[in-house]
Amino acid sequence: MKRYFVDTNVFLRYLVNDESDHADRVEKLLDKAEKGQIKLVTGPPVFFELAWTLKSFYGMNRDEIYKCLLSIAGIKGLDIADCEIVIETLEVYKKYTVDFADAYISVQSKKLDTNGVVTFNKKHFNKLDLNLYAF
């Protein structure tokens, strides 16, 4: 079966439907994946870009962004690299007032069994349940 990596802009057209022709084409693509005609894959950087773009360009709030990203994660026929980490990140993002990327770093830090995170961004990371390296 043929496999294709799906870029951020494809999901954006589907989520915001600002270009109806593109959104229709994406729906057909997702339908093919759901039927098993093709396999679609994507990864964490696409979720980072989606979260950032939905917030900064489309002005969506955290709850709206969470729902959009969760809907992408639930697409049948779509494999997500590091899916478990992405799903956990979504839950951290929903619970705490931090950017999606910071939530991902927090989850990844724990998965890699680190002693904490080294960062100058204490404002956001202090909200998360993790240790920060003091320097």
Query: Mind giving me the DSSP string for 64-129?
Result: HHHHHHHHHHT-TTEEETTHHHHHHHHHHHHHSSS-HHHHHHHHHHHHTT-S-B--S-HHHHTTSS
Domain assignment present for 112 = yes
**Domain assignment present for 86:** yes
pTM of the full predicted structure?
A: 0.91
Give the pLDDT of residue 50.
Answer: 98
Residue 135 lies in a domain: no
Q: Is residue 93 part of a domain?
A: yes
Kindly state whether residue 132 falls inside one of the protein's structural domains: no
- Count of structural domains, the chain: 1
Instruction: Give the residue from 111, 117, 113 showing the smallest Cα distance to 131.
Output: 117
Q: Is residue 134 part of a domain?
A: no
Rounded to an integer, what distance in angstroms lies between the CA atom of residue 99 and that of residue 51? 8
- What do you get for the CA distance between the two ends of the chain, in Å? 51
pLDDT at 96: 92
Contacts of 107 (CB under 8 A, 6+ apart): 85, 88, 89, 92
- The pLDDT of residue 98 is 92
The pLDDT value recorded for residue 134 is 76
Q: Which residues of the chain have pLDDT under 70?
A: none
Domain containing residue 117: 3-125
Q: CA 25 to CA 98: how far, in whole Å? A: 33
Domain at 61, CATH number: 3.40.50
Q: 4 — phi, psi (to 5°)?
A: -135, 135
Q: What is the pLDDT of residue 32?
A: 97
Task: Output the pLDDT for position 28.
Answer: 97
pLDDT of residue 39: 97
